Amino acid sequence: MATNTVRLHRVLRTPPERVYRAFVEPKAFERWLPPFGFTGEVHSMEPVVGGAWRMSFTTFSSGHSHSFGGKYLELVPGQRIAYDASFDDPNLPGTMKTTVTLTAVSCGTDVAIVQEGIPEMIPVEMCYLGWQESLVSLAQLVEPNIPN
CB burial of residue 33 (10 Å; 0-12, 13-18, 19+): buried
At 148 the pLDDT is: 85
Mean pLDDT within 134-139: 98
Task: For the chain, give the mean pLDDT.
Answer: 95
The full set of domain ranges for the chain reads 4-142
Q: 119-133: per-residue pLDDT in tens? A: 988 999 999 999 999
Task: List strand residue ranges (DSSP E) for the chain, in order.
Answer: 4-12, 38-45, 52-59, 65-76, 80-87, 96-105, 108-118
CA–CA dist 49, 40 (Å, integer): 23
Q: 50-86: per-residue pLDDT in tens? A: 999 999 999 999 999 999 999 999 999 999 999 999 9
Q: Examine the pLDDT at 1 and tell me if it is beyond 80.
A: no
CB burial of residue 1 (10 Å; 0-12, 13-18, 19+): exposed
Q: Examine the pLDDT at 104 and tell me if it is beyond 90.
A: yes
User: Tell me, which fold does domain 4-142 have in CATH?
Assistant: Alpha-D-Glucose-1,6-Bisphosphate; Chain A, domain 4 (3.30.530)
Residue 103 contacts residue 90 (beta carbons within 8 Å): no
